[in-house]
Amino acid sequence: MDEKELAEIRAHLLQVRNEVLVESERAYAASQSLGKDGVPDIGDMSSNSYNQEVLMNLSETQRSRVRDIDAALERMDKGVYGLCMRCEEEISARRMEVRPFSRYCIDCKTEVEKFGE
């Protein structure tokens, strides 16, 4: 990848990172306000508890995505962005386009998911 492509990808990753953080803050604020709008009955409490759990899990997913983006930015700084962390071969351009924070090529990702690492 040339410098212009890397700069565009970096800008995109930073934009996605910011969007995820804003979305996470909104989800957290929403989870904090559930059930505080009056006197809830048992059905309301159950529903609010479930909704709060879903929102908190969403936040964990978002945190994971931010960590993935941060790792991709770090790989850019080290000059190894786009290289598989396992086999050190270049990750396909299509995969990097779809998932710009990929750490592994398709073959290695399959192996990692199958056998762990």
Per-domain boundaries in the chain: 1-81, 82-117
SS3 83: strand
Q: Which CATH class is domain 1-81?
A: mainly alpha
Q: Which pLDDT tens digits describe the chain residue by residue (117 residues)?
A: 789 999 999 999 999 999 988 887 777 676 666 555 555 555 555 555 655 665 566 677 888 899 999 999 999 999 999 999 999 999 999 999 999 999 999 999 999 998 876
Query: Are the C-beta atoms of 85 and 103 separated by less than 8 Å?
Result: yes
